[in-house]
Amino acid sequence: MKIIVQTEQLTKSFKKQHAVDGINLTIREGEIYGFLGPNGAGKTTTIRMLLGLMKPSTGNINLFGKSLARNKLEILRQVGSLVENPSYYPHLTAYENLKVVAQIVGAPLNRISEVLELVRLQEAAHRKVKGFSLGMKQRLGIATALLHNPKLLILDEPTNGLDPSGIIEIRELIKSLPQKYGMTVLISSHLLSEIDQIATSVGVVSHGKLIYQDSIVNMRKLASSAIHLQCNKPQEAVTALKQLSLDAHIEAGQLVLPNCPESLVAEAVRLLVHRGHDIYRVQEHKQSLEQIFLDMTGGVSL
């Protein structure tokens, strides 16, 4: 698949502090890439650099296979964005807000009604934006980003300030974009559950560093469960369980059976009891994704 976003050792420093530290992002065509990290981890700074709003201290950015530094205008014509809290002109109506942008990106005026309908703002089209709720402003921001049918959509915390039904609505809209319009989406969030429901790939950033990058499927595999079994002779139990082709091992004096289906748990217990082992306790230990990322990000919750 074609690579749409590629950064090489992307770094941004403010007064000797690395806000973004050697990030190598790879986003492929048609992906919804979840950019996950606690607040202040460097997500927004990275996004600002991808949009040419900030210059990297070191490192390179390639979008659509071209250097952003050298082909900024050509690249930005194919990018739609919503950075942090939505930006808008409060004294103008929703329609006028979209019109001023449409004139710049060369979108036809009938496209304005289309995107307003897409984010369900058509009824508020001719109201001044200063009277909008945060959720409506956020949806207007998404409409602005979609105006010129961009190939790459960069959304920074797009569900901030939305109510639950609004979050579901926007999530479904974003999910449909790659199939319907062939867009590639980069979406940032500090909420793991949000990314888990929407993304096809994930990058986790903490303290300015990219600490994990893979498909969502592989990420979910990290959240594994294991059966911990406390018995009187664990070493002998391991040997006995080989009979059931179970890959058991000992951890802190306990017998551990990773990824063991329920039927095999029953069989294992039966076998051990049969061989005269005393079993004191059988427990399931499940490491949640939350816990995994908590460990990755050094205790800062996602």
Partner 1 sequence: MMLSSLLRSEWVKIKGKGLWLLSMLGPIGVVGLTMVNYGVRKDYLLAQSDDDWAYYLDGILPLTAMALVLGIAILTSLLASIEGHTNAWKLWLALPVRRSTVYMSKYIIATALLLSSSIVLTLGTVIYGMTLGLGDDIPWLSILQYGFYPWLSAQAIISLHLWSAVVSSNQGFTVSLGVIGVMISFISPYVPDWVIWKWPFLIIEGSSSWSSIAVAAGISALLLLVGLLHFSRKDVA
Q: Please give the Cα distance from 54 to 68 (Å, whole number).
A: 11
Of 90 and 131, nearer to partner 1 (C-beta) is 90
To partner 1, the closest distance from the beta carbon of 203 in angstroms equals 20
Count of residues interacting with partner 1 (CB under 8 A): 33
Could you say whether residue 104 binds partner 1 (CB under 8 A)? yes
Among 4, 101, 240, 292, binds partner 1 (CB under 8 A): 101
CA torsion, ordered 297, 299, 300, 302, to nearest 10 deg = 70
Cβ burial of 100 (10 Å; 0-12, 13-18, 19+) is exposed
Could you say whether residue 91 binds partner 1 (CB under 8 A)? yes
Of 77 and 285, nearer to partner 1 (C-beta) is 77
In the structure encoding, which two tokens stand for residue 162, read together?
């939305």
Of 145 and 202, nearer to partner 1 (C-beta) is 145
Site for partner 1, residues 108 to 167, rule: CB under 8 A: 141, 144
To partner 1, the closest distance from the beta carbon of 34 in angstroms equals 21
Of 89 and 280, nearer to partner 1 (C-beta) is 89
Among 10, 51, 94, 219, binds partner 1 (CB under 8 A): 51
Residues 67 and 206 sit within 8 Å (Cβ to Cβ): no
Q: Please give the Cα distance from 60 to 9 (Å, whole number).
A: 7
Kindly give the residue spans of alpha helices, DSSP state H, lying in 109-241.
110-118, 134-146, 164-181, 192-198, 216-222, 234-241
Looking at the DSSP bridge assignments, the partners of residue 28 are: 3
Residues 151 and 132 sit within 8 Å (Cβ to Cβ): no
Strand order in the sheet with 32-36: 79-82, 152-156, 184-189, 32-36, 201-206, 209-215
Of 12 and 277, nearer to partner 1 (C-beta) is 12
Among 26, 40, 59, 84, binds partner 1 (CB under 8 A): 84
To partner 1, the closest distance from the beta carbon of 204 in angstroms equals 24
Among 13, 29, 30, 105, binds partner 1 (CB under 8 A): 105
Could you say whether residue 77 binds partner 1 (CB under 8 A)? yes
Closest by CA to 249, choosing from 260, 16, 302, 77, is: 260
Residues at the interface with partner 1 (CB under 8 A): 48, 51-55, 72-74, 76-77, 79, 81, 83-92, 96, 99-101, 103-106, 141, 144
